[in-house]
């Protein structure tokens, strides 16, 4: 009985973790195909459950603006994202139910599962605000960060259920360094989300310089003003190229700091057998992120590469959280009972 409960719970957690990762990738596809307003209301599509029921409204929107935000393909992309998000929410409710009911058999507190449920509810709210606030950059970026936080929580849940080689108590001294690295990574993801939501990926078309200069003319105040509409400044004027350049330049250069920090940390942790797997994954993903980031510039932001770049960021989160969970176990083993 105990083995069956544990097996079911683990399968549920790992499937939900996998679906969370897929949803983040698909969310990037929604954003990069400009499908966020494919259905300009929420939670339905023009008040209907599917775009099929809303076909008349979509056709009218297409006739009014043939190259606008609404089309049949964009409506389906947006609604599929919402459907999968709803399924994810129900799966997390099931995890909370099992974690609470079988907390003694599973041997873990249900608190983490409850926090994950709260996170997915907040994420759903930001999904709605993304539509109702017309892709306001600060809302869309917060929605992206929320997805990454949800992935981190699901990875934490999954990592608790996965066995690994023993980790020496001495390895615990890496714990605060890894926590700092995860914070840096989330800052970089926020900066990357700001680039994406402001369509600043091609603000600098050369590398390693930007517009032929190491420090080009930039408008940081305009670029990082948070409360404003898409493509606009708080004053109501159109956002300038100098502001977009500032957004791109900060993300690009902060990436080198994150790359160096996490790369050196992962390299040092390779000596520990219980950390080798996620450390190797972290190193590989850092290299992949560098490659996809440069390819995005040189090939002018192709859709597949841009989605992979977002997926790479999600991979860095799951590798970093896995390392953090394993290091926390090593840290607890140092504390006398």
Q: For 74-111, how does the pLDDT look when each residue is reduced to its tens digit (9 = 90+)?
A: 999 999 999 999 999 999 999 999 999 988 888 888 99
Exposed / middle / buried, residue 221 (Cβ in 10 Å: 0-12, 13-18, 19+): exposed
pLDDT of residue 334: 60
Q: Alpha-carbon distance 109 to 100, whole Å?
A: 8
**DSSP letter at 48?**
B
- For the stretch 150-194, pLDDT in tens is 999 999 999 988 877 778 878 888 999 999 999 999 999 999 999
Asked whether the beta carbons of 122 and 156 are under 8 A apart, the reply is no
C-alpha count within 13 angstroms, C-beta hemisphere, residue 178: 27
Please name the residue that has the structure tokens 């980790």.
167
Element of type H or E holding 287: helix 276-298
Confidence (pLDDT) at 333: 63
- pLDDT reported for residue 335: 56
Catalytic residue among 3, 59, 78, 221: 78
Query: Which range is least confidently modeled, 11-25, 126-140, 296-310?
Result: 296-310
Identify any residues that bridge with 238 across adjacent strands, giving them in sequence order.
232
Asked if residues 169 and 330 have their Cβ atoms less than 8 Å apart, the reply is yes
User: Which residue's structure tokens are 């949803």?
Assistant: 23
Contact status, residue 107 vs residue 196, Cβ threshold 8 Å: no
Q: Residue for token digits 């995860």?
A: 182
pLDDT of residue 336: 46
What tens digit of pLDDT does each residue of 280-292 get?
999 999 999 998 8
- Stretch 67-77: mean pLDDT: 90
Q: Which of 180, 216, 233, 4 is nearest to 105 (CA)?
A: 4
CA Rg, the chain, in Å?
Answer: 22
Token output for 168? 């020496």
Mean pLDDT across the chain, nearest whole number?
91
Q: Which of 336, 313, 322 lies closest to 269 in space, CA to CA?
A: 322
pLDDT of residue 69: 84
Confidence of residue 32 (pLDDT cuts 50, 70, 90): confident
Active site residue 59: no
Place of tokens 């930039």: 218
Distance from C-alpha of 106 to C-alpha of 100, rounded to nearest angstrom:
9
């Amino acid at each position: 009985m105990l083995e069956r409960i544990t097996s079911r719970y683990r399968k549920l957690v790992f499937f939900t973790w996998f679906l969370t990762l897929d949803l983040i990738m698909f969310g990037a596809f929604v954003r990069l195909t400009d499908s966020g307003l494919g259905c300009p209301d929420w939670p339905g599509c023009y008040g209907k459950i599917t775009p099929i029921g809303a076909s008349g409204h979509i056709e009218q929107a297409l006739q009014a603006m043939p190259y606008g935000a609404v089309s049949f393909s964009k409506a389906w992309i947006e609604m599929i994202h919402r459907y999968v998000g709803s399924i994810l929410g129900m799966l997390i409710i099931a995890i909370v139910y099992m974690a609470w009911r079988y907390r003694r058999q599973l041997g873990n507190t249900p608190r983490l599962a409850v926090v994950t449920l709260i996170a997915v509810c907040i994420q759903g709210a930001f999904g709605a605000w993304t539509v109702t606030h017309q892709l306001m950059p600060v809302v869309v970026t917060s929605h992206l960060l929320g997805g990454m936080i949800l992935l981190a929580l699901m990875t934490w849940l999954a990592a608790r259920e996965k066995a690994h080689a023993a980790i020496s108590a001495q390895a615990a001294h890496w714990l605060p360094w890894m926590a700092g690295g995860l914070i840096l990574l989330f800052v970089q993801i926020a900066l990357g989300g700001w680039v994406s939501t402001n369509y600043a990926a091609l603000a600098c078309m050369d590398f390693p310089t930007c517009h032929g200069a190491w420090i080009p003319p930039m408008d940081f105040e305009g670029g990082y003003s948070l409360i404003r509409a898409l493509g606009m400044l708080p004053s109501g004027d159109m956002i300038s190229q100098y502001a977009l350049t500032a957004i791109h330049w900060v993300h690009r250069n902060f990436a080198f700091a994150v790359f160096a920090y996490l790369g050196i940390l992962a390299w040092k942790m390779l000596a520990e057998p219980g950390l080798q797997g996620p450390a190797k994954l972290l190193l590989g993903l850092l290299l992949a992120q560098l490659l996809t980031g440069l390819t995005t510039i040189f090939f002018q932001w192709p859709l597949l590469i841009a989605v992979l770049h977002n997926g790479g960021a999600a991979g860095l989160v799951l590798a970093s959280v896995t390392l953090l969970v394993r290091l926390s176990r090593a840290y607890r083993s140092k504390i006398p009972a």
